[in-house]
Amino acid sequence: MASVRNLVIALGDQLSLGSSAFDGFDPSVDQIFMAEVHEESTHVWSSKMRIAVFLSAMRHFRVRLEERGWPIEYRALNHPENKGTLALELDDCIRRSNPSGLIMTTPGDWRVLSAIKAIAQSHRLPLDVRDDRHFFSTIRDFAAYAGSRRQLRMEFWYRSLRQRTGILMDGKSPAGGQWNFDTDNRKPFGSKGPPECRAPKHFEPDDLTLEVIALVKDRFPGHPGTLTSFGWPMTPEQAEDALNDFLDYRLSLFGPYEDAMWEGEPWLFHSRLSMAMNLKLLDPRHVITQVEKRYQSGQIGIESAEGFVRQILGWREYVRGIYWTQMPRYLELNALGAEHDLPHFFWTGKTTMNCLRECLTQSIEQGYAHHIQRLMVIGLFALLFGVRPSELHRWFLAVYVDAVEWVELPNTLGMSQYGDGGLLGSKPYIASGQYIKRMSNYCNGCRYDPATKTGERACPYTTMYWDFLIRHRQRLSMNPRMGMQIRNLDRLPEDEQKAITQAANQFRQKIKDTLEG
């Protein structure tokens, strides 16, 4: 039987030659294992776009490894003997290669780590799980930071990383004299709409991607979405092009319009780089260095530079720390006792609510929505409706091309649904339809009125916002950051509160009785 020294496992979101798993790799004695498996597209009902992105990026990485002459055991999805799960494929590969040990970089998913550990154990093989150097901090760093605190807040973790890395620092002080320019990051577009905004670079599918597109259409015909608009970067070179395109054409207005939305404009001034970073086609250090350079040369203002850096050095590192220090119990949390099923229209986009239809359709078709669309339109609806966080999590994990559990779960369950009861964020992100009206033009084309709480034209967001406050009044009134909203609720006469509760219940019932919303 062939024997290799180490079998190095490379997963679909670990597509970098600089990955720690390859440290010390010797092609004369070591081997790489990669597998495309059905389970990864079906354990949550993944969109066609998400499946195609992962498979195509993996196949491009395989070519790169082969060009280096590195031996690889690559099991394609359409291989006749494909066993359908990562664990079975790994088990099979170990039997064929008879390695003395397994090596991998920390994966992005607790479930995958557990499965690989179990296989290693069943073969009595040592498994070397190495730190992921792609991140600025290690899980141990975060655990040490979190261990000494009663409350976790992104802001303080972010400041500590700024100090440690020197990013956007003038000596010991933050560049621009403030740690945070959040208040300059909330401009709406106003009635004129967005300033001229160049769409992100589109990458025409090459032969490898076209092959994958055909495969996905054939193997996953009933999965959500289509592949007609596929234009994602699939290699490090394309990811670098996408980065430069963002730096040149959209970064300067990223800061002021970070939270704004506009009908028919899915990307606006966002980078669209999350997928490339999460699959490791693009190094976040490089991204941040380039952003800092633009700031230092005076091409962009501090509100865009800091606003953008905060997302990557702050939120991205913070949610990863939360994920790995809280799993697996985090998956089950449901602090608000939400008990409703996910409305069916989340999978079709068929709803009369204009904002939600826009954001859902775009998500299903493109595998993308920007942060405020995810948080303050889609997530907000689910939170106010009372959808079980675990169900919403499965939807978010299925739909987006950048969805990997370490980043998706804390954002969905923690930030968006308050399912962890305030571990990740200090209060639920709730608002009425008036917020959506202020930050977008969605309400202009909608049959509902965001200012109306009950009645024929009542905006479901507005009805359910007040209903949320009524339902959770006791809990929320203990949170000092909710004081103003609770005082506003208390100003509503009892009759009006009763009418709101009734209208919200009727709305939920209507959604349950019909497939559309």
Kindly state the smallest distance separating residue 447's Cβ from ligand SF4, in Å. 7
As a three-state string, the secondary structure of 312-328 is: HHHHHHHHHHHHHHHCC
Give the one residue of 132, 365, 402, 420 binding ligand FAD; rule: CB under 6 A: 402
Please state whether 167 falls in left (phi above 0), alpha (psi between -120 and 50) or beta: beta
| Residue from the set 33, 110, 461, 466 that interacts with ligand SF4 by CB under 6 A | 461
Q: How far is the CB of 392 from ligand FAD (least distance, A)?
A: 8
| 220 contributes a contact to ligand SF4 by CB under 6 A | no
Interacting residue with ligand SF4 among 50, 374, 437, 472 (CB under 6 A): 437
Q: Which of 471, 456, 470 is nearest to 506 (CA)?
A: 456
Q: Using N-to-C axis directions, what is the helix angle for 460-471 and 494-513, rounded to 10°?
A: 120
* Single residue of 355, 407, 413, 499 touching ligand SF4 by CB under 6 A: 355
Select from 213, 273, 313, 503 the one that contacts ligand FAD (CB under 6 A).
273
Site for ligand FAD in 279-318 (CB under 6 A): 308, 311-312, 315-316
134 lies in the binding site for ligand FAD (CB under 6 A): no
Q: Which of 436, 464, 476, 499 binds ligand SF4 (CB under 6 A)?
A: 436
Q: How far is the CB of 443 from ligand SF4 (least distance, A)?
A: 3
The radius of gyration of the chain from alpha carbons, rounded to an integer in Å, stands at 24
Query: Which of ligand FAD, ligand SF4, none has residue 408 at its interface (CB below 5 to 8 Å by kind)?
Result: ligand FAD
Distance of alpha carbon 404 from alpha carbon 384, whole angstroms: 25
Nearest-approach distance from CB 412 to ligand SF4, in angstroms: 20
Q: Rounded to an integer, what distance in angstroms lies between the CA atom of residue 303 and that of residue 307?
A: 6
Rounded-to-integer distance, Cα 133 and Cα 131, Å: 6
Non-local CB neighbours of 318 within 8 Å, separated by 6+ positions: 142, 152, 154, 157, 158, 424
Q: Compare residues 254 and 442 and give the one whose CB is closer to ligand SF4.
A: 442
- Token pair for residue 324? 């790995």
385-402 b/e with 16+ CB inside 10 Å = b?
bbbbbbebbbbbbbbbbb
Instruction: List all residues 6 or more positions away from 185 whose beta carbon is below 8 Å from its beta carbon.
Output: 255, 256, 258, 259, 303, 307
Q: Which of 505, 497, 383 is nearest to 432 (CA)?
A: 383
- Which of the choices ligand FAD, ligand SF4, none does residue 316 contact, using the CB cut-off of 5 to 8 A by kind? ligand FAD
295 binds ligand SF4 (CB under 6 A): no
Partner whose binding site includes residue 443, from ligand SF4, ligand FAD, none (CB under 5 to 8 Å by kind): ligand SF4
- Residue numbers of the site for ligand FAD (CB under 6 A)? 270-274, 277-278, 308, 311-312, 315-316, 319, 370-371, 374-375, 379, 396, 400, 402-403, 407-408, 411-412, 415-416
